[in-house]
Structure 1
Amino acid sequence: MSRLSVHHQSSPQIPNKVLGHAEDIAGTLAAVGIEFRELPLQSRVQAGASEQEILAALGETMEQLKRDSDLSQAEVISIDQRHWPREGDKPVDTPVEVLADGAQLYLFLAGQGLLSLHIGDFVYGLIGERNALVSVPAGTRHWFDLGEFPHCAAIRLSAANAVAARPSGDAIAASFPRLED
Protein backbone atom coordinates (compact mmCIF):
# COMPACT_ATOMS: atom_id res chain seq x y z
CA MET A 1 0.00 0.00 0.00
CA SER A 2 1.39 3.41 -0.96
CA ARG A 3 1.85 6.15 1.62
CA LEU A 4 1.98 9.94 1.31
CA SER A 5 3.60 12.39 3.69
CA VAL A 6 3.12 16.13 3.28
CA HIS A 7 5.85 18.44 4.58
CA HIS A 8 6.26 22.20 4.62
CA GLN A 9 9.57 22.84 2.88
CA SER A 10 10.90 24.53 6.05
CA SER A 11 10.37 21.36 8.15
CA PRO A 12 11.61 18.36 6.20
CA GLN A 13 11.78 16.06 9.23
CA ILE A 14 8.23 16.72 10.49
CA PRO A 15 5.31 15.89 8.20
CA ASN A 16 2.11 17.92 8.43
CA LYS A 17 0.16 14.78 7.58
CA VAL A 18 0.74 11.15 6.68
CA LEU A 19 -1.82 9.26 4.60
CA GLY A 20 -2.16 5.56 3.85
CA HIS A 21 -5.55 5.20 2.14
CA ALA A 22 -5.59 5.47 -1.66
CA GLU A 23 -8.64 7.74 -1.62
CA ASP A 24 -6.99 10.17 0.83
CA ILE A 25 -3.76 10.17 -1.17
CA ALA A 26 -5.66 10.79 -4.42
CA GLY A 27 -7.69 13.65 -2.92
CA THR A 28 -4.67 15.37 -1.37
CA LEU A 29 -2.63 15.15 -4.57
CA ALA A 30 -5.57 16.15 -6.80
CA ALA A 31 -5.81 19.41 -4.83
CA VAL A 32 -2.36 20.35 -6.18
CA GLY A 33 -2.85 19.05 -9.73
CA ILE A 34 -1.33 15.56 -9.39
CA GLU A 35 -3.31 12.49 -10.41
CA PHE A 36 -2.88 9.38 -8.27
CA ARG A 37 -4.73 6.11 -8.58
CA GLU A 38 -4.23 2.43 -8.13
CA LEU A 39 -4.17 0.45 -11.33
CA PRO A 40 -5.01 -3.22 -10.75
CA LEU A 41 -2.38 -5.21 -12.59
CA GLN A 42 -2.99 -8.81 -13.57
CA SER A 43 0.64 -9.70 -14.22
CA ARG A 44 3.36 -9.73 -11.60
CA VAL A 45 6.97 -8.78 -12.06
CA GLN A 46 9.89 -8.92 -9.68
CA ALA A 47 12.25 -6.09 -8.79
CA GLY A 48 15.45 -6.76 -10.70
CA ALA A 49 13.66 -8.28 -13.71
CA SER A 50 14.98 -7.25 -17.10
CA GLU A 51 13.40 -4.48 -19.14
CA GLN A 52 12.24 -7.05 -21.71
CA GLU A 53 10.58 -9.23 -19.05
CA ILE A 54 8.75 -6.26 -17.54
CA LEU A 55 7.52 -4.82 -20.84
CA ALA A 56 6.39 -8.27 -22.02
CA ALA A 57 4.52 -8.92 -18.76
CA LEU A 58 2.62 -5.62 -19.01
CA GLY A 59 1.75 -6.04 -22.70
CA GLU A 60 -1.63 -4.47 -23.47
CA THR A 61 -1.74 -2.61 -20.14
CA MET A 62 1.36 -0.68 -21.18
CA GLU A 63 -0.01 0.05 -24.64
CA GLN A 64 -3.27 1.31 -23.13
CA LEU A 65 -1.38 3.58 -20.71
CA LYS A 66 0.67 5.00 -23.58
CA ARG A 67 -2.48 5.72 -25.59
CA ASP A 68 -4.41 7.22 -22.66
CA SER A 69 -1.59 9.48 -21.52
CA ASP A 70 -0.14 10.31 -24.97
CA LEU A 71 3.27 9.34 -23.58
CA SER A 72 5.18 6.80 -25.62
CA GLN A 73 8.73 6.64 -24.25
CA ALA A 74 9.10 4.05 -21.47
CA GLU A 75 12.04 3.93 -19.07
CA VAL A 76 12.16 0.80 -16.93
CA ILE A 77 13.59 1.09 -13.43
CA SER A 78 14.33 -2.35 -12.02
CA ILE A 79 16.79 -2.97 -9.20
CA ASP A 80 16.92 -5.70 -6.59
CA GLN A 81 19.39 -5.19 -3.76
CA ARG A 82 19.98 -8.94 -3.51
CA HIS A 83 21.44 -8.91 -7.01
CA TRP A 84 22.92 -5.43 -6.94
CA PRO A 85 25.14 -3.94 -8.02
CA ARG A 86 25.40 -5.94 -11.19
CA GLU A 87 27.97 -5.17 -13.82
CA GLY A 88 26.80 -2.08 -15.65
CA ASP A 89 24.47 -0.88 -12.87
CA LYS A 90 24.85 2.74 -11.91
CA PRO A 91 25.46 3.58 -8.26
CA VAL A 92 22.46 5.06 -6.46
CA ASP A 93 23.24 8.69 -5.73
CA THR A 94 21.66 11.16 -3.37
CA PRO A 95 18.50 12.38 -5.11
CA VAL A 96 18.54 15.73 -6.92
CA GLU A 97 15.45 17.81 -7.58
CA VAL A 98 14.72 18.00 -11.31
CA LEU A 99 12.33 19.72 -13.70
CA ALA A 100 10.94 17.95 -16.74
CA ASP A 101 9.67 19.96 -19.70
CA GLY A 102 6.99 17.36 -20.42
CA ALA A 103 4.56 15.33 -18.37
CA GLN A 104 5.67 12.05 -16.83
CA LEU A 105 3.77 9.04 -15.58
CA TYR A 106 5.15 6.69 -12.92
CA LEU A 107 3.77 3.15 -12.56
CA PHE A 108 5.06 1.15 -9.60
CA LEU A 109 5.21 -2.60 -10.22
CA ALA A 110 7.14 -4.18 -7.32
CA GLY A 111 9.04 -3.12 -4.24
CA GLN A 112 8.92 0.60 -3.54
CA GLY A 113 10.35 3.96 -4.47
CA LEU A 114 9.98 7.46 -3.07
CA LEU A 115 8.67 10.09 -5.48
CA SER A 116 8.88 13.56 -3.92
CA LEU A 117 6.95 16.42 -5.51
CA HIS A 118 7.91 20.00 -4.62
CA ILE A 119 4.82 22.13 -5.19
CA GLY A 120 4.71 25.65 -3.82
CA ASP A 121 5.89 25.64 -0.21
CA PHE A 122 5.20 21.93 0.29
CA VAL A 123 6.85 18.61 -0.52
CA TYR A 124 4.59 15.61 -1.09
CA GLY A 125 6.58 12.42 -0.48
CA LEU A 126 4.86 9.41 -2.05
CA ILE A 127 6.21 5.98 -1.23
CA GLY A 128 4.86 4.17 -4.25
CA GLU A 129 4.22 0.45 -4.15
CA ARG A 130 2.68 -2.08 -6.55
CA ASN A 131 -0.21 -0.69 -8.63
CA ALA A 132 0.43 2.99 -7.79
CA LEU A 133 0.08 5.25 -10.83
CA VAL A 134 1.14 8.90 -10.55
CA SER A 135 0.87 11.54 -13.27
CA VAL A 136 3.42 14.35 -12.90
CA PRO A 137 2.56 17.44 -14.98
CA ALA A 138 5.24 19.25 -16.98
CA GLY A 139 7.28 21.69 -14.93
CA THR A 140 6.68 19.95 -11.59
CA ARG A 141 9.80 19.96 -9.44
CA HIS A 142 10.43 16.44 -8.18
CA TRP A 143 12.97 13.77 -7.33
CA PHE A 144 12.90 10.00 -7.23
CA ASP A 145 14.71 8.00 -4.56
CA LEU A 146 15.35 4.27 -4.56
CA GLY A 147 17.04 4.40 -1.16
CA GLU A 148 20.28 2.94 0.07
CA PHE A 149 19.10 -0.64 -0.49
CA PRO A 150 17.07 -0.47 -3.71
CA HIS A 151 14.28 -2.94 -4.35
CA CYS A 152 11.95 -1.54 -6.98
CA ALA A 153 10.43 -2.17 -10.37
CA ALA A 154 8.71 0.82 -11.95
CA ILE A 155 8.13 2.42 -15.31
CA ARG A 156 8.41 6.11 -16.11
CA LEU A 157 6.55 7.19 -19.25
CA SER A 158 7.30 10.44 -21.05
CA ALA A 159 6.71 11.94 -24.49
CA ALA A 160 8.74 10.51 -27.37
CA ASN A 161 10.41 13.87 -27.97
CA ALA A 162 10.96 14.62 -24.26
CA VAL A 163 14.15 16.35 -23.25
CA ALA A 164 15.90 14.79 -20.27
CA ALA A 165 14.90 16.29 -16.94
CA ARG A 166 17.33 18.94 -15.77
CA PRO A 167 18.39 19.82 -12.22
CA SER A 168 16.32 22.65 -10.75
CA GLY A 169 19.32 24.15 -8.96
CA ASP A 170 17.57 23.85 -5.58
CA ALA A 171 19.34 21.61 -3.03
CA ILE A 172 16.06 20.82 -1.23
CA ALA A 173 16.18 17.06 -1.93
CA ALA A 174 19.22 16.68 0.33
CA SER A 175 17.21 18.11 3.26
CA PHE A 176 14.40 15.57 3.11
CA PRO A 177 14.37 12.02 4.46
CA ARG A 178 15.45 9.28 2.09
CA LEU A 179 13.36 6.18 1.45
CA GLU A 180 14.72 4.26 4.47
CA ASP A 181 14.53 7.20 6.88
Structure 2
Amino acid sequence: MSSLSVYHVSSPDLPNKVLTHFDDIAATLAEQGIRFDRWQATTRIEPGASEEHVIAAYQAQIEQLMTERGCVSVDVLSLDGQHPQKAELRAQYLDEHRHGEDEVRFFVAGRGLFNLHIDDYVYAVLCEKNDLISVPAGTAHWFDMGEQPYLVAIRLFKNPQGWVANLTGDAIASQFPRLED
Protein backbone atom coordinates (compact mmCIF):
# COMPACT_ATOMS: atom_id res chain seq x y z
CA MET A 1 0.00 0.00 0.00
CA SER A 2 1.32 3.43 -0.91
CA SER A 3 1.92 5.80 1.98
CA LEU A 4 3.17 9.27 2.81
CA SER A 5 5.04 10.14 6.00
CA VAL A 6 5.70 13.83 6.61
CA TYR A 7 8.62 14.70 8.90
CA HIS A 8 9.94 18.01 10.17
CA VAL A 9 13.69 18.10 9.46
CA SER A 10 14.35 18.44 13.21
CA SER A 11 12.59 15.13 14.02
CA PRO A 12 13.60 12.42 11.53
CA ASP A 13 12.49 9.65 13.90
CA LEU A 14 8.90 10.80 14.33
CA PRO A 15 6.61 11.75 11.44
CA ASN A 16 4.14 14.60 11.94
CA LYS A 17 1.61 12.63 9.93
CA VAL A 18 1.27 9.34 8.10
CA LEU A 19 -1.24 8.99 5.27
CA THR A 20 -2.33 5.79 3.52
CA HIS A 21 -5.45 6.90 1.65
CA PHE A 22 -4.62 7.69 -1.98
CA ASP A 23 -6.65 10.91 -2.18
CA ASP A 24 -5.04 12.26 1.01
CA ILE A 25 -1.55 11.44 -0.28
CA ALA A 26 -2.21 13.04 -3.66
CA ALA A 27 -3.76 16.19 -2.13
CA THR A 28 -0.94 16.67 0.39
CA LEU A 29 1.71 16.26 -2.30
CA ALA A 30 -0.20 18.52 -4.72
CA GLU A 31 0.06 21.32 -2.15
CA GLN A 32 3.84 21.05 -2.67
CA GLY A 33 3.63 20.90 -6.47
CA ILE A 34 4.19 17.12 -6.61
CA ARG A 35 1.94 15.08 -8.89
CA PHE A 36 0.95 11.71 -7.44
CA ASP A 37 -1.38 9.67 -9.56
CA ARG A 38 -2.55 6.12 -9.93
CA TRP A 39 -2.25 4.43 -13.32
CA GLN A 40 -2.98 0.86 -14.20
CA ALA A 41 0.04 -1.33 -14.82
CA THR A 42 -1.55 -3.40 -17.57
CA THR A 43 1.21 -5.88 -18.33
CA ARG A 44 2.76 -8.15 -15.71
CA ILE A 45 6.46 -7.36 -15.51
CA GLU A 46 8.89 -8.97 -13.09
CA PRO A 47 11.82 -7.05 -11.61
CA GLY A 48 14.95 -7.82 -13.58
CA ALA A 49 13.08 -7.55 -16.91
CA SER A 50 15.06 -5.83 -19.65
CA GLU A 51 14.57 -2.17 -20.45
CA GLU A 52 13.50 -3.08 -24.00
CA HIS A 53 10.84 -5.49 -22.73
CA VAL A 54 9.39 -2.96 -20.26
CA ILE A 55 9.34 -0.12 -22.80
CA ALA A 56 7.67 -2.32 -25.40
CA ALA A 57 5.04 -3.46 -22.90
CA TYR A 58 4.21 0.11 -21.83
CA GLN A 59 4.77 2.00 -25.08
CA ALA A 60 1.29 3.58 -25.10
CA GLN A 61 1.59 4.90 -21.52
CA ILE A 62 5.13 6.13 -22.19
CA GLU A 63 4.06 8.00 -25.32
CA GLN A 64 1.13 9.58 -23.45
CA LEU A 65 3.38 10.76 -20.61
CA MET A 66 6.11 11.98 -22.95
CA THR A 67 3.60 14.05 -24.89
CA GLU A 68 1.84 15.32 -21.78
CA ARG A 69 5.04 16.19 -19.89
CA GLY A 70 7.28 17.21 -22.81
CA CYS A 71 9.76 14.43 -22.08
CA VAL A 72 12.34 13.32 -24.62
CA SER A 73 14.08 10.36 -22.95
CA VAL A 74 13.00 7.24 -21.13
CA ASP A 75 14.80 4.57 -19.17
CA VAL A 76 13.86 1.74 -16.86
CA LEU A 77 15.02 0.89 -13.37
CA SER A 78 14.44 -2.87 -13.08
CA LEU A 79 16.03 -4.68 -10.16
CA ASP A 80 15.49 -7.63 -7.91
CA GLY A 81 17.44 -8.87 -4.91
CA GLN A 82 19.65 -11.04 -7.13
CA HIS A 83 21.07 -8.13 -9.16
CA PRO A 84 24.89 -8.23 -8.84
CA GLN A 85 25.19 -4.43 -8.57
CA LYS A 86 22.21 -3.82 -6.28
CA ALA A 87 24.29 -2.19 -3.51
CA GLU A 88 26.08 0.18 -5.91
CA LEU A 89 22.84 1.12 -7.68
CA ARG A 90 21.08 1.74 -4.38
CA ALA A 91 23.93 3.95 -3.16
CA GLN A 92 23.75 6.03 -6.36
CA TYR A 93 20.31 7.37 -5.37
CA LEU A 94 20.64 7.63 -1.56
CA ASP A 95 22.30 11.05 -1.39
CA GLU A 96 20.14 14.14 -1.63
CA HIS A 97 20.19 15.56 -5.15
CA ARG A 98 18.25 17.69 -7.62
CA HIS A 99 17.54 17.50 -11.33
CA GLY A 100 17.41 20.36 -13.81
CA GLU A 101 14.09 19.06 -15.11
CA ASP A 102 11.04 17.22 -13.83
CA GLU A 103 11.52 13.58 -12.96
CA VAL A 104 8.57 11.32 -13.73
CA ARG A 105 8.39 7.72 -12.51
CA PHE A 106 5.71 5.13 -13.15
CA PHE A 107 6.01 2.01 -10.98
CA VAL A 108 4.90 -1.06 -12.93
CA ALA A 109 6.09 -3.54 -10.28
CA GLY A 110 7.48 -3.55 -6.77
CA ARG A 111 8.16 -0.48 -4.66
CA GLY A 112 10.56 2.31 -3.76
CA LEU A 113 10.78 5.15 -1.24
CA PHE A 114 10.99 8.72 -2.59
CA ASN A 115 12.03 11.32 -0.01
CA LEU A 116 11.34 14.93 -0.98
CA HIS A 117 13.05 17.69 1.03
CA ILE A 118 10.86 20.77 0.72
CA ASP A 119 11.55 23.72 3.02
CA ASP A 120 11.64 22.39 6.60
CA TYR A 121 9.91 19.08 5.80
CA VAL A 122 10.69 15.70 4.31
CA TYR A 123 7.86 13.95 2.47
CA ALA A 124 8.62 10.21 2.42
CA VAL A 125 6.47 8.70 -0.34
CA LEU A 126 6.33 4.91 -0.50
CA CYS A 127 5.52 4.26 -4.16
CA GLU A 128 4.20 0.89 -5.25
CA LYS A 129 2.87 -0.77 -8.38
CA ASN A 130 0.53 1.58 -10.32
CA ASP A 131 1.90 4.75 -8.70
CA LEU A 132 3.02 7.67 -10.85
CA ILE A 133 5.02 10.46 -9.25
CA SER A 134 6.31 13.61 -10.88
CA VAL A 135 8.94 15.58 -8.99
CA PRO A 136 9.38 19.15 -10.24
CA ALA A 137 12.79 20.35 -11.41
CA GLY A 138 14.97 21.62 -8.60
CA THR A 139 13.23 19.66 -5.83
CA ALA A 140 15.80 18.19 -3.43
CA HIS A 141 15.18 14.46 -2.97
CA TRP A 142 16.65 10.99 -2.63
CA PHE A 143 15.38 7.54 -3.46
CA ASP A 144 15.75 4.21 -1.68
CA MET A 145 15.03 0.85 -3.26
CA GLY A 146 16.00 -1.17 -0.16
CA GLU A 147 18.79 -3.66 0.47
CA GLN A 148 16.85 -6.33 -1.44
CA PRO A 149 15.34 -4.27 -4.28
CA TYR A 150 12.20 -5.41 -6.01
CA LEU A 151 10.98 -2.83 -8.50
CA VAL A 152 10.39 -1.86 -12.08
CA ALA A 153 10.01 1.87 -12.63
CA ILE A 154 9.77 3.68 -15.95
CA ARG A 155 11.57 7.03 -15.73
CA LEU A 156 10.94 9.92 -18.09
CA PHE A 157 13.04 13.06 -18.52
CA LYS A 158 13.07 16.27 -20.52
CA ASN A 159 16.86 16.03 -20.68
CA PRO A 160 18.05 13.89 -23.63
CA GLN A 161 20.84 12.58 -21.35
CA GLY A 162 18.26 11.08 -19.00
CA TRP A 163 19.02 10.84 -15.28
CA VAL A 164 21.51 13.57 -14.33
CA ALA A 165 21.80 14.29 -10.60
CA ASN A 166 23.23 17.41 -9.00
CA LEU A 167 24.21 16.50 -5.44
CA THR A 168 23.26 19.05 -2.79
CA GLY A 169 26.09 18.10 -0.41
CA ASP A 170 23.59 17.95 2.48
CA ALA A 171 23.80 14.78 4.60
CA ILE A 172 20.10 14.95 5.53
CA ALA A 173 19.26 11.69 3.73
CA SER A 174 21.35 9.68 6.20
CA GLN A 175 19.18 10.92 9.10
CA PHE A 176 15.83 9.60 7.84
CA PRO A 177 14.40 6.07 7.78
CA ARG A 178 15.33 3.85 4.85
CA LEU A 179 13.09 1.44 2.98
CA GLU A 180 12.61 -1.65 5.10
CA ASP A 181 12.88 -4.95 3.26
Question: Per the shorter chain, which TM-score range?
Answer: over 0.9
3-state SS of 1:142 partner: strand
Aligned residue for 2:179?
A: 179
Aligned residue for 1:47?
A: 47
Aligned residue for 1:107?
A: 106
Residue by residue, what CA displacement relative to the aligned partner does 1:40-68 show, whole Å, maximum 9, x if unpaired?
A: 22222111111111111102111111111
- 1:145 paired to 2:147: no
- Are residues 145 and 34 of structure 1, via their aligned partners in 2, closer, same or farther at CA, if it must alter by over 3 Å? same
CA distance in 1 between partners of 2:99 and 2:53 (Å): 27
Aligned residue for 1:36?
A: 36
CA distance in 1 between partners of 2:159 and 2:87 (Å): 24
State the Cα distance separating 1:91 from its structure 2 match: 4.7
CA distance in 2 between partners of 1:143 and 1:92 (Å): 10
- Of residues 36-45 and 165-174 in structure 1, the stretch that sits farther from structure 2 once superposed is 36-45
State the Cα distance separating 1:15 from its structure 2 match: 0.7
CA distance in 2 between partners of 1:89 and 1:176 (Å): 18
Q: Unaligned stretches of 5+ in structure 1? A: none
Percent identity of the aligned residues?
46
- Are residues 136 and 91 of structure 1, via their aligned partners in 2, closer, same or farther at CA, if it must alter by over 3 Å? closer
- Of residues 160-169 and 6-15 in structure 1, the stretch that sits farther from structure 2 once superposed is 160-169
The one-letter amino acid paired with 1:47 is P
CA distance in 2 between partners of 1:100 and 1:147 (Å): 22
- Contact 2:101/2:159 (8 A) holds in 1: no
Q: 2:90 aligns with which of 92, 99, 109?
A: 92
Aligned residue for 1:117?
A: 116
TM-score of the aligned structures, taking structure 2 as reference length? 0.92
- Contact 2:5/2:18 (8 A) holds in 1: yes
State the Cα distance separating 1:161 from its structure 2 match: 3.7
- 1:157 paired to 2:156: yes
Give the superposed CA RMSD. Answer: 1.8
The one-letter amino acid paired with 2:20 is G
Aligned residue for 1:126?
A: 125
TM-score of the aligned structures, taking structure 1 as reference length? 0.92
Residue by residue, what CA displacement relative to the aligned partner does 1:56-101 show, whole Å, maximum 9, x if unpaired?
A: 11021111111111112112101011x3226x98453271000111
- Contact 2:77/2:153 (8 A) holds in 1: yes
